[in-house]
Amino acid sequence: MRMWNVDPKFLCRKHLLGEHVEMHMFLGSILKGKSMRGFIEKGLVEIHNIKLRHHQLKNEMIDRGMNHKSDLPDCNLWTEGKVDSFDNIDELIKRCPDCKKRIYEYL
């Protein structure tokens, strides 16, 4: 699981939907009391931005004509974690030709 934390317009369909699902998975794990320590230490999640990120991804999905029917449950989240968006842009460019195309299109 990871939070890309880049402009959602940069993400191909696969990565957009994948990160959306992962916001649900992160919050579900937190609500079940599972440790997020490894994800935080590896820079894969910003706990305090899960709800905001979900909202951003949801809006991009709607803008692209996709359905969204899965809001996050309300809960209190603490401030912890830092995701490096610039490193993630580089990773997406290396990993995914569709994201690479979108990134260059929007930059």
Identify the pLDDT of residue 48: 97
Question: So what's the pLDDT on residue 98?
Answer: 98
For the chain, the farthest-separated pair of C-alpha atoms sits apart, in whole angstroms, at: 40
What span, in angstroms and rounded, lies between the C-alpha atoms of 25 and 101?
Answer: 28
pLDDT for 107 equals: 86
Extended strands (E) in the chain: none
**With a cut of 70, which residues of the chain have pLDDT below it?**
none
Question: With a threshold of 0.85, does the pTM exceed it?
Answer: yes
Residue 102 pLDDT: 98
